[in-house]
Amino acid sequence: MKSLRVRNLRSLKDSGEIEMRPLTFLLGENSSGKSTFLRLMPLLKQSIEAKTKGPLLWFGRYVDFGSYREALSKFSEDDTIQMEFVLPLLNDFKLYSSPSRTKVSRFDARIGLLIEESTESAASFTKVCTISMYDVTVKITLDENQKVVGYECNKHDFSRAASRVFSVGQRMGQASSIIPVLHDSTRGSRRFSTYELQTNSLIAPLYSFLKNLLHRDVSQENLSRIVNNIVLGDADTMLASIKSSNTSLTRWTQRVARWSVTTPAFITLRDFYLAWVTPQVLYSADLYLYNYIQNIKYVAPLRATAERYYRFQDLAVDELDFQGRNLALILQNMSKSEALNFEEWTLENFGFAVRVRPSGGHSAIMIKEAGSPHEVSLADMGFGFSQVIPILAQLWLASSPNPALRFSLRRAIPVTFAIEQPELHLHPRMQARLADILYKTVQLAQKNDVNLLLLVETHSETIINRLGLRIAGGELSSDDVSVIVFEKPYPDAPAISRMATYEENGLLKDWPLGFFEPEVV
């Protein structure tokens, strides 16, 4: 996901489009909207992990937004919550149609969702879905039963052709469908298939338009040949593919040879084609978003309190709990070499080693500080240790070169860590070390071919200054870091956001004056 935007959620009337960089920090005063934005990540995650009637599960395992009505911003003017994703649909994305495979180029799809409360219950549903590809926008309107009641591509209305289409995921209470997946009810199966493209009702307007350009008795085979040769892309790419059609239709070849990107017939054909392929693009976008959300790792603001002993459990654990409650299990499951590597990593970067010691049917998490010959139980250390160690373990697992330790990663799909207040109960010196670990983890992940993104909500001036120091020293690229500042012009105003970026000298550009300063009394 390249960027995310939300409107009308709690104090956020409009977050603005927020780009996801390797290191993205969210700052602001209390109740300024920064936590609301970060918690979109666990909100999405809990929504795909359960079967829901609507696109989002407002109250779940990770976060509690209450109900739709409670999550809705008081600044909303139309009682809707809107989300917008920019998704990079990858080079291996293919559109299938018989008898041959349609070619496609890489592109970014901008997906917009307008969510509304149901009139029959407290549930919510997707009322409008828009998808923008290049300079074309398709708008799909759905009713509460997720039946398509409106389907427009630029100025062309396909609502009649789409009258038997509905969103299969949300209509049937299936998990994983944040983005509506469209299904043609004229087909027997309720499971979407890529081959559905060749028979869905939206191809009829496309074929009808082509027949009008040629002659009414043109064969289905020739129509399919023309359509199959079109390459999904910008106007120039699509026009070039149309002109290179390998067809025996002389009239068609002569006609399109005179076309330019401003020819009305080409513009109409392009709109009809994009309206036809939109169900497959939405399907692929939802699949990408589902995989992206699966790779979201959330770290809550208050991690689990350390216990003196943990019972042994014969369980396979490959992911740390969002509150760090299974930290001991994660450490127990490490091999000797893995445990040693983790000890050395924490010792080098944070000045203490973390290890697990068995004790009868239990185990204890022990801390050994640099220069000390003694181990001390985590339960006897300062509270800050128990708060930061789950974060360290998460980051080490994510950046590890050992495939057995890594989460299910693919380079094309980033791993996004949403971390709330990692500096809690840490001395400023430890906060500075934490800042170093954050950027070093991203760099290590890049070396290990892991696309790692860190989304961090913080109040720490130390962390922000430390990153500027590392940028000035050439250890970190300013292009990898952004700081999003959330503000309210006055107490009862909607929150707004602005992006501050680091210059090469480590200073922040567009930084609000006196941001970390107390009020003058």
pLDDT at 186: 64
Strand pairing category for 415-420 and 107-117:
unpaired
420 bridge partner residues? 457
pLDDT at 302: 74
State how far the Cα of 252 lies from the Cα of 237, in Å rounded to an integer.
Answer: 18
State how far the Cα of 388 lies from the Cα of 390, in Å rounded to an integer.
Answer: 6
pLDDT at 267: 96
Strands annotated E in 120-260:
124-133, 136-142, 148-153, 156-157, 165-167, 182-184
Provide the 10 A C-beta neighbour count for residue 107: 17
Q: Which two tokens stand for residue 385?
A: 């240790």
pLDDT at 398: 81
pLDDT at 383: 82
Task: Please give the CATH topology (third level) of the domain spanning 296-509.
Answer: Rossmann fold (3.40.50)
Sign of CA dihedral 389, 395, 397, 402: negative
State how far the Cα of 339 lies from the Cα of 334, in Å rounded to an integer.
Answer: 6
Q: Which amino acid is it at 506?
A: G
Confirm if 406 and 400 have CB atoms less than 8 A apart: yes
Give domain limits for the chain: 51-217+268-294, 296-509
Query: Helix, strand, or coil here: 298?
Result: strand
Prediction pTM value: 0.89
109 bridge partner residues? 87, 133
Per-residue pLDDT tens digits of the chain, which is 521 residues long = 999 999 999 999 999 999 999 999 999 988 899 999 999 999 999 999 988 888 999 999 999 999 999 999 999 999 999 999 999 985 343 344 444 444 445 689 999 999 999 987 778 999 999 999 888 999 999 999 889 999 999 989 999 988 877 776 554 444 458 999 888 766 555 555 554 555 578 888 999 999 999 887 888 888 888 888 888 889 999 999 899 876 678 888 999 999 999 999 999 999 999 999 898 889 889 989 999 999 999 998 877 676 777 776 655 466 788 888 888 888 888 889 989 999 999 999 889 999 988 877 788 889 999 989 999 998 898 888 888 888 998 888 887 765 444 444 445 689 999 999 999 888 999 999 999 999 999 998 888 888 999 999 999 999 999 999 999 999 999 999 999 999 988 888 998 899 999 999 999 988 876 677 776 56
DSSP string of 226-267? HHHHPPBSSHHHHHHHHHT---S-HHHHHHHHT--TT-HHHH
pLDDT at 122: 76
pLDDT at 256: 94
Strand pairing category for 95-96 and 3-9:
unpaired
pLDDT at 394: 87
